[in-house]
């Protein structure tokens, strides 16, 4: 199946920890004219997720040590994590399913950091790291939020699924979305599968 390529005419203004409004039925915002409103809204959802990720100064699943001089991470920093959860909720990009899974990943990582015989050392890449979570990538185009392809879009009522990315279909990221208050929100991203956070 052919993919749908979305290229925006320009960048949006970025604000710290805040996602821009998702365009509703606005073909000019994405420089396309012939796709249905669901396709446009989902493209805008991914675009805004990438813009938010670029502007965000807070990381995901940040670890802590028992004391400042320790060299081994011993769990998740729950104070920072709760702030991150609030930021994710405030973006209006993610629904409850995604947020619940994100919380479960944090709890799972906390147990791993405490109980796994293989320890994570401060300053080293953790066994579950080494790539950008939100794009599931290491390298990406400079203008990554303004030109990407959506593959295999399937819409069933208030739920949909598709893959998106900058390469061919085999490199795409699988996403599920659900509609809430007439807006699509991300409910699942394959890079946030909990089994990816074990070692």
Q: What is the pLDDT of residues 124-183, one digit of tens each?
A: 988 887 778 998 887 777 777 878 888 889 999 999 999 998 876 667 899 999 998 889
pLDDT at 37: 76
Query: What is the residue-averaged pLDDT of the chain?
Result: 82
Return the structure tokens found at 57: 């100064």
Per-residue pLDDT, 12: 37
pTM (predicted TM-score)? 0.81
User: What are the phi and psi torsion angles at 186 (to 5°)?
Assistant: -70, 125
Report the pLDDT averaged over residues 64-83.
96
Strand order in the sheet with 159-165: 4-7, 147-156, 159-165, 173-180, 183-189
Contacts of 60 (CB under 8 A, 6+ apart): 84, 133
User: In 3D, which of 132, 167, 133, 131 has the Cα closest to residue 149?
Assistant: 167
CA–CA distance, 119 with 140 (Å, rounded to integer):
30
Burial class (CB in 10 A: 0-12, 13-18, 19+), 35: middle
């Amino acid at each position: 199946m052919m993919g749908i390529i979305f290229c925006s005419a320009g960048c949006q203004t970025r604000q710290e920890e805040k996602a821009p409004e998702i365009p509703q039925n606005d073909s000019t915002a994405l420089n396309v004219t012939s796709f249905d409103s669901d396709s446009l809204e989902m493209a805008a959802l991914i675009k805004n997720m990438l813009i938010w990720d670029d502007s965000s100064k807070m990381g995901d699943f940040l670890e802590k040590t028992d004391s400042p001089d320790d060299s081994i991470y011993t769990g998740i920093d729950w104070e920072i994590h709760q702030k991150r959860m609030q930021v994710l909720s405030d973006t209006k990009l993610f629904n409850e399913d995604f947020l619940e899974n994100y919380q479960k990943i944090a709890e799972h990582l906390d147990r791993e950091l405490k109980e796994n015989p293989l320890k994570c050392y401060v300053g080293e890449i953790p066994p579950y790291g080494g790539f950008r979570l939100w794009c599931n990538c290491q390298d990406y185009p400079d203008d990554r939020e303004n030109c990407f392809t959506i593959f295999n879009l399937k819409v069933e009522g208030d739920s949909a699924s598709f893959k998106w990315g900058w390469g061919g279909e085999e490199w795409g990221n699988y996403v599920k979305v659900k509609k809430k208050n007439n807006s699509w929100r991300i409910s699942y991203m394959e890079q946030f599968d909990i089994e990816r956070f074990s070692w």
